[in-house]
């Protein structure tokens, strides 16, 4: 299979600032026509032509999955990041043509669940917005607990509370409100599935608390996309394509391979899905594994690397690409 996913040509139909940090983007199919249906929790990979650099960032689709007329995403500006969110905020204007991927779902609902308990932190609200659309159409049983910094930074909090009365609970950090997770989990009906999307600390907290309380591993779902970390530049030799590739300070190994014209598979670009796993033929140095995919033994073994987020420091690295 070729790298990545099938592409969609879209036009930016609306750019709408939601608050100081978050801007919403609406895409329609260039030249008209329906976009593919998707399932709640799916993301799309947005291609950004930023000067000489092609950036590819994954964003959760937040619109109603049944609405094939348009997709919407929300992007939180990350001033410390490598530039993808800044590009979206500063460069993307209404009427601009862009390329996005077909929807990919790595955070889908377990449709067997008797109840869906959703825990969101900050911009982690977006996949739940599509899931709630889907569940309310199907008559599904759900409840959202959404933690925000302040009321003014509570992206979509007010409209969600209005749209789903009685099902949405908002917690404001600045008012010292916090999700009482133990009590919440203790009071769920049998057959409930828990979903969490937010900062890493929140995800770990939910997994460990649920685990300690005896929740089955399969009933707790999370999604966290890592942004690729910056780091020291390094050099990699690609044995199959017979190319030497330089990886820049603010560039991921995957991006460097792509820039060198090497066909490298990917899906999430965030260390979660496993698609870009690459065999290491030889190395002299130290791996900086940042992914959620490889096991600890694999990370220690030095035979595999996930080029979307992980890096290398040392003299030589030879990959099977």
Q: Which residues bind other proteins (CB under 8 A)?
A: 1-2, 5-6, 36-39, 41-42, 65, 102-105, 108-112, 134, 138, 218, 267, 273-275
CB of 172 to other proteins, least distance (A): 33
Helix (H) or strand (E) holding 64: none
Q: Is the dihedral of CA 292, 295, 297, 301 positive or negative?
A: negative
CB of 74 to other proteins, least distance (A): 21
CB of 181 to other proteins, least distance (A): 22
Cβ-based nearer residue to other proteins, 37 or 246: 37
Cβ-based nearer residue to other proteins, 144 or 267: 267
Cβ-based nearer residue to other proteins, 87 or 142: 142
DSSP letters for 156-203: THHHHHHHSTTTEEEEEGGGT----HHHHHHTPPTTEEEEEES-HHHH
Cβ-based nearer residue to other proteins, 65 or 84: 65
Distance CA 97, CA 164 (A): 34
Cβ-based nearer residue to other proteins, 18 or 99: 99
CB of 223 to other proteins, least distance (A): 13
Distance CA 10, CA 28 (A): 5
Q: Which tokens belong to 166? A: 């009685």
Contact 117, 193 (CB under 8 A): yes
């Amino acid at each position: 299979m070729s790298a990545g996913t099938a592409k969609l040509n879209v036009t930016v139909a609306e750019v709408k600032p939601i608050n100081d940090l978050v801007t919403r983007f609406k895409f329609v199919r260039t030249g008209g026509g329906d976009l593919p249906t998707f399932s709640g929790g799916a993301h799309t990979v947005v291609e950004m032509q930023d000067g000489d650099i092609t950036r590819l960032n994954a964003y959760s689709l937040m619109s109603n999955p049944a609405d094939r007329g348009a997709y919407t995403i929300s992007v939180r500006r990350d001033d410390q990041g490598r530039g993808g969110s800044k590009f979206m905020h500063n460069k993307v204007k209404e009427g601009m043509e862009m390329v996005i991927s077909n929807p990919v779902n790595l955070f889908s609902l377990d449709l067997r669940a008797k109840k869906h308990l959703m825990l969101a932190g900050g911009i982690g609200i977006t996949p739940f917005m599509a899931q709630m659309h889907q569940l309310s159409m199907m008559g599904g049983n759900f409840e959202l607990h959404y933690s925000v910094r302040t009321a003014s930074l509570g992206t979509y909090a007010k409209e969600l509370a209005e749209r789903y009365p009685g099902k949405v609970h908002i917690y404001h950090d600045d008012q010292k409100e916090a999700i009482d997770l133990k009590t919440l989990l203790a009071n769920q009906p049998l057959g409930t599935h828990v979903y969490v999307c937010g900062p890493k600390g929140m995800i770990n907290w939910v997994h460990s608390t649920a685990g300690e309380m005896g929740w089955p591993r399969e009933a707790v779902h999370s999604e966290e996309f890592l942004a690729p970390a910056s780091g020291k530049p390094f050099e990699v030799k690609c044995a199959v394509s017979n190319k030497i590739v330089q990886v820049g300070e603010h560039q991921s190994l995957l991006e460097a391979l792509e820039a060198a014209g090497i066909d490298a598979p990917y899906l999430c670009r965030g260390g979660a899905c496993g698609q870009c796993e690459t065999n290491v033929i030889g190395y002299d140095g130290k791996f900086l594994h940042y992914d959620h995919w490889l096991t600890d033994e694999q990370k220690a073994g030095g035979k595999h690397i996930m080029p979307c987020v992980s890096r290398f420091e040392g003299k030589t690295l030879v990959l099977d690409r």
